[in-house]
Amino acid sequence: MGPRAAPLLPLLLALLGRTDPGRAEGCDLQPVTAEPPITLSYATSTVPRGCVSSSSLSTSHEVHVLSVEWSKVPALPLKVLVTPRAGGCTRSAVLILLCSYCSATITSPCPDLLVHTDAHLSSGSTVTKSPKPPVATGERQLLAWVEDNYGGITSYSELRDPRSVQLRLGEDAGNPPDCIPQKHFNATQHLETEVFFHGVKGCAHGDAQSTRAAHIIHLQHDPSSPVTEVNLSLSCPKGVITNQILILQSRTNLTWSLSFNNCDIQFLVSGNYTIAAIAPRLLPGELLPDTERGLIAKAFEKNYSVIASYSTIPASARISLEIQKHEVVRRTSETPTPPAPTADPLPYALLFMLQPWKCTDETMEIVIDRSHLEPIKDVVNITLRDLSCQAEKNATHFMLKTPLSHCGTLLEGRGHANNELILSQAKGAALRSVRVAFQCKIPRELFLRLFPTAAFEVPQTELEVNKEAFVQASMRWEDHPADLQLKECWLVAPGREPELLVQGGEARGEGVAVMEGPPSTRGRKVWRFRFTYAVPEGGRVPFSATLKCKAGLQNNTIFEKVLEVTVKDSWRPPNTRGLGLAAVLGITFGAFLIGALLTAGLWYIYSHTRPISKLQPVSSTAPASESSSTNHSIGSTQSTPCSTSSMA
Ligand SMILES: *[C@@H]1O[C@H](CO)[C@@H](O)[C@H](O)[C@H]1NC(C)=O
Ligand SMILES: *[C@@H]1O[C@H](CO)[C@@H](O)[C@H](O)[C@H]1NC(C)=O
Ligand SMILES: *[C@@H]1O[C@H](CO)[C@@H](O)[C@H](O)[C@H]1NC(C)=O
Ligand SMILES: *[C@@H]1O[C@H](CO)[C@@H](O)[C@H](O)[C@H]1NC(C)=O
Ligand SMILES: *[C@@H]1O[C@H](CO)[C@@H](O)[C@H](O)[C@H]1NC(C)=O
């Protein structure tokens, strides 16, 4: 046990010789919510609410409704398996899965299964989505929608925290005529689900420094339960020396069948048990107390002074228990090392749902609403693979913007940029990190950017009249970048003839000059030119204008992009923000007549109703399709990205 056992000794001496439940004194079980030391799930066919009916027998489809509720963001996609009735996939079936903010893998051997779901379908799904179900505000509306659309409901089940669901198709004429949801509904007929248990409790005895920890599972005694055998599979983190005990309590005439994956653990079992790895020989268990305090006292008696987890669950035929690595207390004084990859699925699943990354052909931008990160506790810092690329944060968001050439970004996949998000969590004094690798799609579209100087550094959306401006058009075309050409660029402003700036790679307008762009690398082609937006003195200056460019391939596939810019006239007072001088004078003159208060009101209204579209970041338009029709044009509207100081 080493020197660490020393503080434990007085405690143990005090405990010695006492076997009554009084030993549980000093250990108040508390819910473990922050970072449960285990992941526990169990199979059940009892749903919080549900019903079945024969109302679909006379309609064209059998219809099953699953409505999922979460008490915690799920770690992995929900697995839904829809199995055919005994005779095969003979009747059309509909699955309605309500599972907002969730990702699901739905598989079924029945090819014609119609699926209405608001879940994100993850890869591996073998079904395709039909239109989304309504955003139901309640059970009643949902069921009414199903009735209206399909004329009947075969089954309805509300599920809480499911890990997987197996839905068996089939209808039963013996079911009641209407589906009227009931509490604690027994859905054995058509459904089995494995649900996560989130009610884990724990405690440590006094100031116990011990790493000897107990995990206790207490199966509720339910005389009506048909379960006589429990299969429990236990898995433990790799390469960790555990000093733990598993205590399994159930009614005595129940048989446990245990399978261990990677676990070196002590155990105490009530009733008889078998161990999968060692032949099916039935081993006698021991009589265990069947109260909470009795079981805790038992753990203490065996010198396990930390109750790492205590779970009370219904009798179930299959239980899966994973002991998590972070539960094991490490007391070596490690120097901070780069974070190791983590297998914790929660951050991974969460970030994949949020997809907070957005790429252009030149930049990667990450914006994460901090409230979305709540399920991953205490994230203090976010960086990319290159730890020096740290996200800026304000009260509500983490933000990071970087060129694709920086921060360890790799352009390996076609049309994708790869990097990792590293989330640092404050854990007391220590920092813990999770690493999530991601791929950011680079849209296959033409990008337009306007710059104030020939350095082409920080793009802007303001075009100053009678001053030189610099335009860059660029695009990735991995296949044959050489095929791609800048066909033409126009400047379009209200009240003026459109001005042709560049055509076929040559300068056209007055004061336009084509500049040499950087060489194409990795399939990215860049064109540059400069021009001056000339307005004769006294000429009318529009508030805004658009730059419109087309690039294309030999075969007439055209990519078009429009960049909206505001026009700045240095003659215009700077704080009028777009109100022409004449308008300002007009308003001032009006003030004499109407009164200064009203003018203030006009100003207020004006400044609060101006369209704000120009402040929006790059729109993520759908990537250009490669349809085979000739001379089709792929257009989208864009504003240059608001550049931030982290652009380095
Ligand atoms: C439990 O596991 C054994 C062996 O893996 C298997 O034969 C048995 O059918 C399982 N029982 C249940 C209820 O899943
Ligand atoms: C508990 O630890 C004490 C002191 O190390 C030891 O004397 C005692 O035998 C242990 N009891 C069990 C059940 O291991
Ligand atoms: C965030 O990370 C940086 C660099 O790794 C580190 O210097 C800084 O102390 C971290 N901030 C916090 C609040 O942990
Ligand atoms: C934080 O930054 C984000 C992104 O730039 C912005 O949308 C948000 O309003 C900012 N929040 C605060 C409180 O400044
Ligand atoms: C034009 O050529 C590209 C490849 O260079 C191809 O992907 C695209 O489908 C072609 N379009 C037409 C209309 O032929």
Which residue's CA is the nearest one to ligand 5's atom 2? 555
Closest ligand 4 atom to the C-alpha of 367?
Answer: 4
Which residue's CA is the nearest one to ligand 4's atom 13? 395
pLDDT at 445 over 60: yes
Identify which has the larger pLDDT, 191 or 385. Answer: 191
How far is CA 151 from each of CA 154, 371, 436, rounded to the nearest angstrom?
10, 41, 45
DSSP, collapsed to helix, strand or coil, labels residue 365 as: strand
Instruction: Provide the mean pLDDT of the chain.
Output: 77
Range of lowest pLDDT (43-52, 136-145, 171-180): 136-145
Question: From the CA of 556, how far away is ligand 5's center (Å)?
Answer: 8
Average pLDDT over residues 122-142: 80
Which residue's CA is the nearest one to ligand 2's atom 8? 303
Average pLDDT over residues 199-217: 77
* Most confident option among 141-150, 281-290, 568-577: 141-150
DSSP states along 609-645:
HS--GGGS----PPPPP--S-TT-EE--EE-PPPP-T
Per-residue pLDDT tens digits for 595-617: 443 434 434 444 343 333 333 33
Average pLDDT over residues 387-397: 91
Contact 166, 194 (CB under 8 A): no
- Decide whether any atom of ligand 1 lies within 6 Å of the 320 Cβ: no
Pocket test for ligand 5, best of 557, 629, 630, 632 (most atoms within 8 A of CB): 557
Give the span between the Cα atoms of 190 and 187, in whole angstroms: 6
Closest ligand 3 atom to the C-alpha of 431?
Answer: 14
Regarding pTM above 0.95, the answer is no
User: Which amino acid is it at 181?
Assistant: P
User: Which amino acid is it at 159?
Assistant: L
User: Which ligand is located closest to the Cα atom of residue 485?
Assistant: 5
219 — pLDDT class (breaks 50, 70, 90): very high
Question: From the CA of 267, how far away is ligand 1's center (Å)?
Answer: 20
User: Which ligand is located closest to the Cα atom of residue 356?
Assistant: 4
User: Among positive and negative, which fits the CA dihedral 289, 291, 295, 297?
Assistant: negative
Average pLDDT over residues 96-113: 88
Average pLDDT over residues 562-583: 64
CATH T-level assignment (fold) for domain 336-441: Immunoglobulin-like (2.60.40)
User: Among positive and negative, which fits the CA dihedral 55, 56, 60, 66?
Assistant: positive
Tell which residue, 68, 316, 46, has the closest CA to residue 182. 46
Per-residue pLDDT tens digits for 524-555: 889 999 999 888 777 788 888 999 999 988 77
Evaluate whether 336-441 and 447-568 have a shared fold. Answer: yes
Show me where the domains of the chain are located. Answer: 26-40+198-323, 46-187, 336-441, 447-568
CA 226 to chain CA centroid, nearest Å? 39
Give the span between the Cα atoms of 154 and 55, in whole angstroms: 7
Q: How is domain 447-568 classified at the architecture level of CATH?
A: Sandwich (2.60)
- Decide whether any atom of ligand 3 lies within 6 Å of the 637 Cβ: no
Which residue's CA is the nearest one to ligand 1's atom 8? 231
Three-state SS for 55-69 is CCCCCCCEEEEEEEE
Which residue's CA is the nearest one to ligand 1's atom 9? 231
User: Which amino acid is it at 423?
Assistant: L
Distinct helix (H) and strand (E) counts, the chain:
6, 43
Closest ligand 5 atom to the C-alpha of 629?
Answer: 13
Taking phi first (over 0 means left), then psi (-120 to 50 degrees means alpha), and beta for anything else, what does residue 55 get?
alpha
- Decide whether any atom of ligand 5 lies within 6 Å of the 392 Cβ: no
Range of lowest pLDDT (54-63, 96-105, 359-368): 96-105
User: Which ligand is located closest to the Cα atom of residue 14?
Assistant: 2
Q: For residue 593, what are the β-bridge partners? A: none
Angle subtended by helix axes 581-594 and 596-609, to nearest 10: 140
